[in-house]
Structure formats: structure tokens, C-alpha cells
Structure 1
Amino acid sequence: MKKDVTLTVKAKYVNLYKSGYPLISKEAIINLNEDTKEGTIIRLVDEKNKFIAKGYFGKQNKGFGWVLSRNENEQIDQRFFMNKLRDAINYREPFFNSLDTNAFRIVNGEGDGLGGLTIEYFDGYYLINWYSKGIYRFREYIINALKELAEFKAIYQKKRFDVDGKYIEEDDFVAGERGTFPIIVKENGVNLAVYLNESAMVGVFLDQRDVRKTIRDAYAEGKNVLNTFSYTGAFSVFAAVGDAVKTTSVDLANRSLNKTIEQFRVNGLDIESHDIIVEDVFNYFKYAVKKQLTFDMVILDPPSFARSKKIVFSAEKDYKNLLKEAISITEDGGIIVASTNSSSFNMKKFKSFIDQAFKETNRKFQLIEEFSLPNDFKTIKEFPEGIYLKVVFIKSLP
């Protein structure tokens, strides 16, 4: 590793970092050099050269690195990562002991003191996601720690960092025995097909676990359900397992068709009684209005940002209008599951979108329940941006 670099924190940000804020940002540093070598250990000091914290330099969309320790004498070495991973694994012990769920997150970035890194567990398979070249420079320490601490069938990794404006969605087998994919994991007793060897997307977003269970257990029975931005159809599968009369899954990606069929089949569900449509969601809304289609439940889980041939969608700017589209095809008394993973606004702002959407459509609503990240997606109060998931169940009133 290159010699440590000392960065001076602007006075107005010193208390923020002393209180535990983990993200090293450009606006907080007086002498930030963007050409610093990725993975360099950096010391944060105040303008009197008094030590605040140490971390590493690693450019990603959130900033320029992460704090790892507030102990000036602590070495960022094999022992450091061993201790961090041991603590993270111990925290997830209830998940390892679960009889009906064997897919969950065991390291959640800054929530576990390892910003820029996530590790997920899929029935004995571990998947490491590296979000910057900076954290990737510590790969030997981290992989060796995981090998020593965990019993595993195999370890895979994905490089998610940005190089020259392009993301390297590279998957790579690391250790163990190569898997035969898909592997079938369980989430609250439901089967899910997962691929660790294709792209950055493995087939399921683990952060929606509690939401899927709630749909299955409390809302799906007897309902006609529309699942928009459906990806591989996991919400639809849980609704079907929960005895929904019918589900309709809509996604623009061609792969969504076969992936959704597969998710239904691994659960022994009759695919013939459900619709899977490859189409732009916004076009489908127009079609549904024209054909006077309505649904008892509409699930909205769009990406934070999406682009199709005719439409650019930004959750921060466009979620209100997306809700208005959903309201227009939701039955009176029906449920809209509004979800976003955008970290650019909080739950209060998200609820304001809901309020505006119903006001502009002259409809009334009731907020039934809300969700954020499940327990395995550990967060810290000092970094509220890390609590990115916001989900609200809304009842559309007559």
C-alpha cells in the first residue's frame, strides 16, 4: 500500500466526522486530490492537525472514500478485516439459524463499518460486491477473512466500480466449487432462482424480503395484482403463493419473461393463470386505461433512474406522476405498494409525493403500513443516506 495521505477536514464538517459520519466527500475536505491512488489509507485531521479518523480513498458515485476507524493507532490489515467480518457474521446469526430463509446480506457497507463493500449469502454461496477500486485493493484481506470465518460452497465476486464512465459488471468465481445455476434459495419458505454468474443482477433484491412476505400473508388472497417494473417477478410469485386470483408482471427488459416464468415454475405455480408482459410500464398504463383494466393491488418498485426510447424516469422528479398513473387503474379500496430505493430523498419527502398525487387526482387515501430495510441490511444513524429503501402500503379510498 502507498504511504498514508493526510486530508484536512473543513471546520464546519469536523463535528460531523467526529460524531461518526463515514463518507469522505469532496466538499468536506480542503486538500482533496482526486488523483490519489485508489486504496490509499487516508488520515482525516482538523485544521489544527488533530486526528479525527482514518479510512481509504476510493471513488464511487457517493464520494471519495470511507472512514474505517476512529482509532489513530489501529492498523488496516488482515486482523482489522477479520474482526469486522466476524462482527458482521455474528450479527446475522438469527438468519443463519432460520429454517425458511437462506438468502440474506452479511455485510452492508458502512452499516458494518466497511463502506464500499457488500457481501450476500445464498444457501452456502457468498457473493462479494466491490463498489470501488479502492476497496478492491483490500480484496486479499477480505477474501482471506471470509474463507477463515465462513463455511462455504463457493465464493463469487462482482466488480461494480466505475472506470472511465463505464461500470465493470464483471462476475468472477473466487473459491470453493463452481455452482450450477440457478441455485434455488428460500425466502420465507418461497423458492427463488438465483444466478451469481451472469451480471450484476442476481435475480432477487434481498432488501424487499419483508415487503414480499407482507404481500403474501396479508394482502394477496383473492386479489388481481399488477406488478410493474417486475424484474424477475418475485413480488408476483409471493402474491400467487398468497392465493392471488391473478398477477400481471410488466417490465421492459426482454429477459424478464423467461426469468419470471422460471420463478413461477420453481414454486410449482401454474403460469397459465398469470400474465407476463414485456413492455414499457408507462405504455402499459395507457393501455390499461384505454381497455378500462383495474387492479386490486398495484406494486410500484421502479429503479431510481431509468431510460427507455421515449421516457427518462427519475424517482425524485417523476414518482408523483407514476403514482397518478397507478391511482387511475386501482380499484376503490385497492392497495398501492409504493416503493423506492432512491437515497436522494427521505420518507417524509416520499409521503409528500403520495399526498400530491392523490390531491391532483381528486382521490382520498389511507397510509396502511410502511417498511424500510430489513435487519440484515444494517445501517447507522450517523449516515441516514444509507437507509435508502422506502415502502408504503396505500389504500385508495372511494
Structure 2
Amino acid sequence: MIKKLQAKPAAAGEYIDGLPLVERASVTNPDALSEEGELFILSDPKGRYLGTGYHGLQNKGVGWLLTANQEEEIDQRFFNRKIRSAVEYRSSYLKSAETTAFRLFNGEGDGIGGLTIDYFEGFCLINWYSAGIYRFKTEIVQAIEKAVEPKGIYQKKRFNEKGGYIEEDDFVSGEEAPSPLLVKENGVQFAVYLNEGAMVGVFLDQREVRKAIRDKYAAGKAVLNMFSYTGAFSVFAALGGASRTVSVDVANRSLPKTIEQFSINGIDHEAQEIIVEDVFKYFKYAAKKGKVYDLVVLDPPSFAKTKKNTFSAAKDYKNLLKDTIRLTADNGIIIASTNAANVSEKKFQGFIDQAFKESGISCRILESFSLPDDFKTIPSYKQGNYLKVFFVQVNKSGSQK
């Protein structure tokens, strides 16, 4: 028997307007749900139908609405339609020889919250964000195989497992991918690993930002890439003619991974600087040594913790920017980026304005970026459009008095 939830009066209007995430605080009877993956009907306080969804625990949510059509069945045909539609929306990417890694299905933007699918040179990687959506694995894998005919399928389970979902590795079906698998982004190669933990080697949502760095900003510049991960920004900067790049990340794996990314693109990694160190410690070192850079990429995780420092984008980004301003040359550019869904674009721009004001330095925003079009979002769920990137020019000669 399908479960029934009732929306609180204050929340009902949001669901009528298309909000897909059902939060615990938005319904009167969240405890009516017992088993993740079960379907439910959401009604307004007068019992009128609002939508059908599935129970999946994700952040503050207890589930996602899948349809506002009471006659629509959540069955194999439903998943076939959703994934086929997403594939058709990205047909230009599937035909591209220059970009062979992109987001194929983007959660609620494509109609199924809690699920994303990335495409890597013929292979598909599924990200499951709750045990609830994982219950539909058979249907979703079948829908992918029918719509894309991939060489192989991999998966990442990004939820706390409580038994019953133990699998030996992340390989699902088809043929296994080479390790590394070489993919392309705007003609640049990346080495990705589909079966090595949560992160494969590149964040696909920054594609347009990397292209802008290569094509418009890097030539002749000394570039500092903070929280560099595998050095993707540095690779694009070097290919764009940067005079030198400095990549800093606390993770030990960043050194061999960054060397690999430079090498597969024909760049002499020994001509670049790759530093394994706490980024916060490097800020202090660089300031003490008087180091200055023309272009600084500041793309921290929304939350980070090292032995001596804890960083939260919502609380600490302003101070991180102030440290960055000190290391940026006059007329230099800071690429300020955050993927924190709880920081709105307006709030993030406020961090930038306040950091420069407190530093007594003038600035000018040259351009901004959000998610590329393959990361499809919907207006009714603003948290889904999480990426905010500003190219900010530093004007120290015209500093505020």
C-alpha cells in the first residue's frame, strides 16, 4: 500500500510551484515513511494531490517528488522516459570529439532527485545519493543501457550504508574501463579513474571556467591554483600560455595526479611547481616571502578540515579572500569560486565586496559563471544551481582610502 504524506500549509504552495525535495520539516507526518525506496503520495492540508515521490534520506530531505501527474506510474517506462529525455538534451555532447566527459543526467534538473550520471568516453558513472534511489538500481541501469548503449557502467554510493548494499567494487556492467581512462574537455586530456574511490580525477562542473582561463586570462601570467586537487585549472593555464603555475593542495595524491595531468597533455611538469601542503599554511608562507601572482584560482571545498584548520565556505570564505588579495598583483585576477549550495549568489558576492572593503582595496568583477548547460537545473529548486564563480580584478593602485 502506497504511503501518504501531508504538506504543511506553509509548504504546499512551494510544491504546487514545482519544488521537488520533500523536507522533514515541510510535512506533518514524516514518520509515516518507514523503508527507503518506498513510494508515497504528497497531498496538501485539504487532501488534494500534489505529487508522487520516493522515500530517500538526503540532507534534510525525506524524499523526492518524481511526478505531479497522479496517473503516471513509477515503473520501468518512467525511468526509460526520463533518461532518454536527458540523453536527447545532451545530444550535442555525445557527438562532440572535443569534449568526451560531461554530466549526462543531473538529478532533479532531469526529473529524478538523488541521482546523477556522468559520461566518460563511452562509459557511464552513476552517483546514488540515498539508499532510496539505489533501490531502483535495476530499472535505472536498464534505462541507461537502452538509451546510451555504453561500453560499461560504474557507480558511486554516496550515502551511509547500513547493510545490504555491500559490493566488491564500483563496476556494474559491460566492459571495464582502462585505468586510467583518457577523456577530453575542450580538446584537453584528463586521466580519470572510475574505480578508485569517490572522486575520479576531475570536476566536470568547472568546464567553462577552465576554458575561459586558457582562452582569455592565462597568457604570460604567473598562476596560483589553491585547493588544486589534480591540477586541472593549472593544466588549462599552462596550455593558455601561463609563464608558470603553482598548484597547492594538502592531499598527498595531488602530486602524482597533477604530474600525470600535465604529462598526458605534453607539458613538462618539472617546469611547473606542485606543492603538497596545507593551503592555509601556504598563504602565511607566501605572504611572509612576499610572493605575488597575476592570477589566483580559489576553489575550496564547501567544507575542509586539516590538522590545524577547519574551513566552511559559509563562514570563512571572506577571510580566505582577504588572504588571497595579499598575494595578488595590482590588476591581477582572483577567480573566486564556491560550490556551497547554502551560499546564494548574492551572499557570495557580498563576501567578495566585504573582503575587498576590509582590505582597503578596490575591485571590479569582470565576468561570472554558474553551472554549464549539461548540469541542468530547475528554477523551483535553487539549491541545485550551486556553483558560483566570479572573475575579480584587483585594483591596488586605486585602493580605497
What TM-score results when the alignment is normalised by the length of structure 1? Answer: 0.97
2:99 is matched with which residue: 83, 98, 101? Answer: 101
CA spacing shift, 1:368–1:169, aligned 2, 3 Å? farther
Aligned to 2:366: 368
Q: Deviations over 1:68-118 (max 9, x none)?
A: 001112110000000000100000011112221010001000000010000
Q: 1:238-289, CA deviations, whole angstroms, 9 ceiling, x for partnerless residues?
A: 0000010100000000000000000000101011110000000010011101
CA displacement, residues 311-339 of structure 1 (integer Å, 9 cap, x when unaligned): 11000000000000000010000000000
Equivalent residue of 2:57, what SS?
strand
Percent of residue pairs identical: 58
* CA displacement, residues 157-212 of structure 1 (integer Å, 9 cap, x when unaligned): 11111246xx9998521111111211110000000010000011000000000000
Instruction: Name 1:377's counterpart in structure 2.
Output: 375
Q: Matches of 1:138 and 1:305 in 2, distance apart?
A: 30
The structural deviation recorded for 1:342 is 0.1
String of CA shifts for 1:348-375, please: whole Å, max 9, x gaps.
1101000110011110000000000000
Match in the other structure for 1:115: 113
The 5-angstrom pairing of residues 386-397 of structure 1 reads 386-397=384-395
**Equivalent residue in structure 1 for 2:333, among 325, 332, 335:** 335
Give the AA of the match of 2:363: F
Distance 2:236 2:150 in 1: 28
1:147 aligns with 2:145: yes
- Whether contact under 8 Å (2:179, 2:192) holds in the other structure is yes
Question: What is the Cα-based RMSD across aligned positions, in Å?
Answer: 1.4
In structure 2, C-alpha distance between the alignment counterparts of 1:389 and 1:47, rounded to whole Å: 35
- AA aligned to 1:388 is Y
Matched residue type, 1:297:
L
- The amino acid of 2:308's aligned partner reads K
- Cα distance in structure 2, aligned partners of 1:395 and 1:168: 49
C-alpha distance in 1, partners of 2:50/2:349? 37
In the TM superposition, residue 384 of structure 1 has moved relative to its aligned partner by: 0.6
Give secondary structure in 1 for the equivalent of 2:347: helix
**Secondary structure at 1:33's aligned position in 2?**
helix
The separation in 2 between residues aligned to 1:207 and 1:341, in whole angstroms, is 9
* Distance (whole Å) between structure 2 residues aligned to residue 170 and residue 38 of structure 1: 22
Task: Tell me the residue number matched to 2:271.
Answer: 273
Q: After the TM superposition, which residues 151-170 of structure 1 pair with which residues of structure 2 at under 5 Å, given as runs?
A: 151-163=149-161
Of 228, 231, 234, which aligns to 1:233? 231
- Does the CA contact (< 8 Å) of 1:159 and 1:169 recur in 2? no
Does residue 39 (structure 1) correspond to residue 32 (structure 2)? The answer is: no
Q: Is the 8 A contact 2:24 2:60 kept in 1?
A: no
- Normalised by the size of structure 2, how large is the TM-score? 0.96
> What 5-or-longer segments of structure 1 have no aligned partner?
none
Identify the residue that residue 204 of structure 1 maps to in structure 2.
202
Paired position in structure 1 for 2:28:
30
1:321 alignment partner, SS class: helix
